A and B are shown apart, each in its own frame.
Chain A
Amino acid sequence: MEDFIWLIPLMPLLGAIINGLFGHVLKGKAGLIASIAVLISFLYSVKAFLMVLDGVTFDGDLFTWIAAGSFQANFGLRIDQLSSVMMLVVSGVGFLIHVYANGYMHGDRSVGRFFAYMNLFVFSMLMLVMGNNLLLLYLGWEGVGLCSYLLIGYFYDKPSAAKAGLKAFLVNRVGDFGFAIGIFIIFTTIGTITYSGIFENVERLVSAGVVTTASLLLFMGACGKSAQFPLYIWLPDAMEGPTPVSALIHAATMVTAGVYMVARFSFLFSYSETAMLVIVIIGTFTALFAATMALVNNDIKRVLAYSTISQLGYMFIGVGVGAYAAGVFHLMTHAFFKALLFLGAGAVMHSLADETNIQKMGALYGKIKITALTFIMAWLAISGIPPFSGFFSKDEILANAYAYHPLVWFFGAVGAFITAFYMSRLVFLTFFGESRVDPEVEKHIHESPRVMTIPLMVLAFLAVVGGLVGIPQFVADLWGGSNHFHHFLEPVFAAANERLHLAHLSHALEYGLMLASVLIALGGIYLAYLMYIKKAIDPDALAAKYKGAYTTLYNKYYVDEGIDAGLLNPIVVMSRWLWHFVDERIIDGLVNVSAKIVMLISLLVRRVQTGYVQHYASVMVIGVILVLGYYLFS
């Protein structure tokens, strides 16, 4: 395996370098190069995946990266079940989005730059999932953060875009701060940062009593990257980037890095019940919290962004309760249908002259059929309608949550209801009902070109059937099959599963929960149907009735404002005070005072210097007399 896996991250890097250096010459060809680069990565990833399927894994170093004193970090890759799945998702979905972007970004003035960033992102993301040590994970971690920053701020002329990029980077840095300290603790305790080394020495972390601290710090990093409460604030703003970026980075791949990390360190997290509990609590809270914000938002991309945050919360519930495979499974299906949703949203915007307000859409179904159909499939998948992919993965998480604690299941189910509702709202307002489109724009509505619709169709296919690889065991038993996905990932999570002993639910309960999920999803959809198609319930009247709740939700719970007023402004004010008072008054003041004292003294002394030669001469003579006197009379 060693002979080709290094090519997998290298190809996108090459693509990034070529596009970065010659993008302005290549122009239209930039997208082609970028797509081919990712395609090659994807094909090699498939090859690697097939080899892993045969039971061949790889863990080896390419070269020494940093070595100083006892610290050593190598450029080493690890291909096992988990990373091969991630590689497939990253390069596969990545490739589709690259193809789509060829159409979406057509005619942009700096496509070369765009595709360079995109390729750089794929490279970083692949490094993130393929690295065999914490530092390489960190490299990919910050690398994707950088690309996210660059791509969000791709339209740098727009102040809001530039601002959103900065916000994304800084919030991520806060998470990385925890991540870094987690690395320090692990290294200090056991003296190595490779996955295999940590795996072997995890007992030392336990006996040193730092396992909970280390886990929580790593999770802090995950919170930042995966937009969990309270570090989720950057993700909605990140929608300022071009839509393919939102699909690739802020839905399918980068934001799931946190889930990947927790899954990767399942053996570590499973040692700390506290850490697991914290993950569950934060995941549950985020799933609900973000879903409520999606209820009232009118920006098609922002609704999807809140939905992403919420879905990530589900994934964390999964990995938090110990159902790592379920979490990763949801990660994968989510990558399919959420990428599809974003790309679909992009296609809608494309046909509506970049309109994002869903209140100005409606009745688009007949005009852009392919987009609408694929979007609807994704909607059904995320709402949890069987047999679409989202149903299986979400259901599995909820079932495991029930086993962990019924309360978690309850909140998850509420979240699922809200999800079904707001997604239906989105779909109904966009594609059905009466048209509210600007008449001027309406004339030009057109279906997107092939290069955009084909990726949509491929993703739609995946969103529909993707869930079938992970049919729950008790269902598969009906025809003697098995949960392939679980089995495949088994080796990675064996150590954690062994320690956790997940409670098994009875088949009856499992069926009951499954049925409940379906009913909940249908309920949500029906409510939306009543409100937005049938108009049986007037949403505006509802909003007017619960004005306080509505405005709070509409203003996203005032979290951004709170952070500005409570954290950022005080820091800025304090910094100004430090600068103007401490630096300029106290320190420079002391320096200047001492200089002034010297100056005062010299003001007196310099009176001696009259400028008259004779005065100087007299002083000289006086000196001569004194010296002579000293010799003569002493």
Chain B
Amino acid sequence: MLSIPVHYFLILGAILFGLGVVGVITRRNAIVIFMSIELMLNAVNLTFLAFSNYLNNVEGHIFVFMIMVVAAAEVAVGLAIIVAIFRLRETVHVDDIRLLKW
């Protein structure tokens, strides 16, 4: 029937996750960093679904659901924060926002 091994999905997830990490670390634009985080979350979703299918277990789906909820909430609040910061500082570049040190 299905000929795609489960570890294909897992490796795809790993690649996407790694790409997300690279994005978070290298990008200066807070919005793009946010998008990279979404990428990482989706990589995790993919992994969950792969396992769910492999183990024939519905809990993976539930988890993906919860992650989506969290992601939605996070995006809403996060973007609001970015907007607030932008109003105050007129920039969304994270290297301009570095007062929280020492």
Contact = CB atoms under 8 A, between A and B. Distances in A.
Interface of A: 606, 609-614, 617-618, 621
B94 A610 contact: no
B25 A612 contact: no
Contact of A614 (B94, B99, B100): B94
Contact of A618 (B25, B33, B98): B25
5 contacts: A610-B98, A611-B98, A613-B33, A613-B98, A617-B25
A338 to B, nearest CB: 78
Contacts of A613: 33, 94, 97-98
B99 A611 contact: yes
Residue of A609, A610, A614 with highest tally of chain B CB at under 10 A = A614
Contacts of B21: 621
Contact of B101 (A611, A617, A618, A621): A611
Nearest to B21: A621
B24 interface: yes
Given A609-B102, A612-B95, A614-B95, 13 more contacts: A606-B102, A610-B98, A610-B101, A611-B101, A612-B94, A612-B98, A613-B97, A614-B26, A614-B94, A617-B24, A617-B25, A621-B21, A621-B25
Contacts of B26: 614
Interface in B22-50: 24-26, 33
Contacts of B100: 611
Interface residues of B, number: 13
Interface string B59-101: 0000000000000000000000000000000000011011111
A72 B94 CA distance: 78
Contacts of B25: 614, 617-618, 621
A89 B15 CA distance: 111
B9 to A, nearest CB: 19
Contacts of A617: 24-25
Contacts of A611: 98-101
A69 B25 CA distance: 76
A617 B22 CA distance: 10
A606 B21 CA distance: 25
Contacts of B99: 611
B101 A614 contact: no
A514 B101 CA distance: 99
When A and B form their complex, which 5 residue pairs have the shortest distance between CB atoms, in order from nearest?
Answer: A611-B98, A611-B101, A609-B101, A613-B94, A606-B102
A224 to B, nearest CB: 63
B77 to A, nearest CB: 16
A184 B4 CA distance: 101
Nearest to B30: A613
A614 B24 contact: yes
A612 B100 CA distance: 9
Nearest to A608: B101
Nearest to B26: A614
A621 B40 CA distance: 13
A618 B101 CA distance: 16
Contacts of B102: 606, 609
Contacts of A618: 25
Nearest to A625: B21
A611 B99 CA distance: 6
Nearest to B22: A621
A621 B25 CA distance: 9
A609 B101 CA distance: 5
Contacts of A614: 24-26, 94-95
Contacts of B101: 606, 609-611
Residue from A611, A617, A618 with most neighbouring chain B CB atoms (10 Å): A611
Nearest to A603: B102
A612 B21 CA distance: 15
A135 B70 CA distance: 80
Residue from the set A609, A610, A612, A613 with the largest chain B CB neighbour count within 10 Å: A613
A617 B30 CA distance: 13
A182 B72 CA distance: 87
Contacts of A609: 101-102
A309 B55 CA distance: 112
A47 B21 CA distance: 107
B79 to A, nearest CB: 16
A423 to B, nearest CB: 84
Nearest to B98: A611
Chain A CB within 10 Å, residue with most, of B33, B95, B99: B95
A431 B47 CA distance: 122
Contacts of A612: 94-95, 98
A606 B101 CA distance: 8
A236 to B, nearest CB: 67
| Of B94, B99, B100, B101, most A-chain CB atoms within 10 Å | B101
A312 to B, nearest CB: 74
A493 B14 CA distance: 111
A266 to B, nearest CB: 80
Contacts of A621: 21, 25
Nearest to A618: B25
A189 to B, nearest CB: 68
A611 B100 CA distance: 5
B6 to A, nearest CB: 18
A623 to B, nearest CB: 12
A94 B25 CA distance: 96
Nearest to A615: B25
B25 to A, nearest CB: 5
A609 B99 CA distance: 10
Contacts of B98: 610-613
A610 B94 CA distance: 12
A5 to B, nearest CB: 78
Greatest chain A CB density within 10 A among B24, B33, B97 is at B24
Nearest to B94: A613
A614 B33 CA distance: 10
A625 to B, nearest CB: 10
Nearest to A613: B94
A610 B97 CA distance: 11
B85 to A, nearest CB: 12
B89 to A, nearest CB: 14
Contacts of A606: 101-102
Nearest to A607: B102
A617 B20 CA distance: 12
A472 to B, nearest CB: 95
A618 to B, nearest CB: 5
A106 to B, nearest CB: 75
